[in-house]
């Protein structure tokens, strides 16, 4: 029946249906709606919404909400709904209950709509959010891509918002190395937004996970993006802001990271770049820690009492036994692409014969590899002797 979840005698199903109905009728992050659930429980909150306690417009929307129709739409799109107490519900979201609302958004979501094979609680247990400007620079895009790839290679889930710019770079960096990523969206998980990211949207849905507190078919609005940001911060073990303007969604996400007592990190850029204005300000004000590598991010996230994410290295590194020429050549070999020996020699500042000798020596030790397309360095894990 429209406006009615199910008979209250159905116990657990009644709670789930009430939360589902609330997610359809009340925009995510509505502090008053979250407070009703906290005080009255989901079934009591739903009854009050229907009675008009949150205003006549929401009461009219509630009257047209039909949970069975929403369920059928979700089923066709392989979308599932999880609520607090479910195995897949991440404990970190509960921190939102104590957080102060920001820009009229706040509170624990009524439930979450998920699309994809990933298990949300497990993915969130070892995760870092990488966020930033939609109008990112080449520097910001490149850094976000590399950072996400290195985090994913370390088994860390990269969380971001599926927007253009830094978000897209973060997701693509994780996907490039086959690592885990979660896209948190401000619309239904069956609605590809922005449309230009449709292929990325489907790639994340097929192999990883899309998350929203909005039901299937919902479209984004400005207030929904602000609500989405709190989920990105609460789901993650820490947040990295790569580039952001002083007034931006990424800075809003940073505020939620602080409210949820997560490590907040910022990437420095050029002092002449407006794209780096917000990261620089957060660093200057002591709100964020400056980070310039994945290793520094992992060190800060691990420091919050989580399972150690950074491999412990012994006293000896394989680089310790390299000659000066070998070390120079090794540091000139990129890990993400292949280049010719001539380019490596130029960057390393050595002659071609010296470069080739060093490359062959490094290859014998399993630190670099060659193909007909050039040379590349092997993963960072190979750099320390005795690493687990």
pLDDT at 303: 58
pLDDT at 317: 66
Q: Is the pLDDT of residue 167 over 50?
A: yes
Mean pLDDT of 351-360: 92
What distance in Å separates the CA atoms of residue 315 and residue 27, rounded to the nearest whole number? Answer: 54
What distance in Å separates the CA atoms of residue 238 and residue 260, rounded to the nearest whole number? Answer: 10
Q: Is the pLDDT of residue 1 over 50?
A: no
How would residue 385 be classed by pLDDT, with cut points 50, 70 and 90? very low
Q: List the one residue out of 228, 235, 146 whose CA is nearest residue 182.
A: 235
Instruction: Give pLDDT tens digits for 82-114.
Output: 999 999 999 999 999 999 999 999 999 999 999
Summary mean pLDDT of the chain: 89
What distance in Å separates the CA atoms of residue 348 and residue 370, rounded to the nearest whole number? Answer: 17
Burial class (CB in 10 A: 0-12, 13-18, 19+), 97: middle
Mean pLDDT of 328-334: 89
Q: Are 377 and 335 in contact (CB under 8 A)?
A: yes
* β-bridge partners, 210: 115, 183
Instruction: Give pLDDT tens digits for 211-220.
Output: 999 999 999 9
Structural element, H or E, at residue 297: helix 294-302
* Beta carbons within 10 angstroms of residue 208's beta carbon: 22
pLDDT at 287: 95
Q: Residue 266 has which token pair?
A: 């910022």
* Beta carbons within 10 angstroms of residue 104's beta carbon: 12
pLDDT at 247: 83
Instruction: Give pLDDT tens digits for 25-64.
Output: 999 999 999 999 999 999 999 999 999 999 999 999 999 9
User: Does the CA dihedral 11-12-15-17 come out positive or negative?
Assistant: negative
Domains, the chain, with CATH or none = 8-72 (no CATH), 91-302 (3.40.50.450), 318-383 (1.10.10.10)
Helices (H) and strands (E) in the chain, counts: 15, 11
pLDDT at 384: 42
pLDDT at 378: 83
User: Higher confidence at residue 365 or residue 7?
Assistant: 365
Instruction: Give pLDDT tens digits for 187-224.
Output: 999 999 999 999 999 999 999 999 999 999 999 999 99
- Give Cβ neighbours of residue 262 (< 8 Å, ≥ 6 apart): 233, 234, 236, 237, 238, 239, 304
Q: Are 359 and 329 in contact (CB under 8 A)?
A: yes
């Amino acid at each position: 029946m429209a406006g009615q979840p199910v008979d209250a005698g159905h116990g657990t199903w009644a709670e789930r249906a009430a939360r589902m109905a609330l997610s359809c009728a009340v925009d995510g992050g509505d502090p008053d709606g979250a407070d009703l659930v906290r005080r009255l429980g989901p079934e009591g909150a739903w009854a009050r919404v229907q009675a008009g306690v949150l205003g006549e417009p929401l009461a009219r929307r509630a009257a047209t909400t039909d949970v069975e129709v929403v369920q059928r739409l979700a089923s066709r799109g392989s979308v599932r709904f999880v609520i607090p107490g479910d195995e897949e519900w991440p404990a970190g979201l509960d921190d939102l209950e104590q957080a102060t609302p920001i820009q009229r958004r706040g509170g624990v979501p009524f439930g979450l709509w998920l699309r994809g094979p990933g298990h949300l609680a497990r993915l969130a247990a070892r995760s870092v959010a990488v966020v930033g400007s939609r109008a990112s620079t080449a520097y910001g895009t490149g850094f976000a891509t590399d950072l996400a790839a290195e985090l994913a290679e370390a088994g860390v889930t990269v969380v971001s918002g599926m927007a253009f710019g830094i978000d897209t770079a973060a997701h693509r960096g994780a996907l490039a190395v086959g690592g885990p990523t979660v896209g948190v969206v401000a619309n239904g998980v069956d609605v590809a937004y922005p449309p230009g990211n449709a292929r990325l949207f489907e790639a994340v849905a097929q192999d990883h996970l899309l998350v929203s507190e909005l039901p299937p078919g919902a479209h984004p609005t400005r207030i929904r993006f602000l609500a989405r940001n709190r989920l990105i911060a609460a789901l993650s073990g820490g947040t990295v802001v790569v580039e952001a303007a002083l007034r931006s969604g990424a800075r809003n996400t940073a505020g939620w990271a602080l409210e949820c007592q997560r490590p907040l990190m910022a990437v420095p850029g050029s002092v002449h770049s407006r794209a780096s204005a917000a990261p620089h300000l957060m660093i200057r004000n002591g709100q964020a820690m400056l980070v310039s590598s994945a290793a520094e991010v992992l060190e800060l996230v691990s420091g919050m009492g989580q399972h150690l994410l950074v491999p412990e290295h012994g006293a000896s590194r394989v680089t310790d036994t390299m000659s000066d020429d070998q070390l120079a050549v090794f540091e000139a070999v990129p890990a993400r692409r292949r280049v010719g020996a001539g380019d490596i020699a130029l960057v390393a500042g050595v002659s071609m014969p010296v470069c080739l000798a060093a490359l062959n020596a490094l290859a014998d030790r399993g630190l670099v590899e060659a193909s007909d397309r050039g040379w590349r360095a092997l993963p960072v894990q190979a750099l320390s002797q005795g690493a687990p």
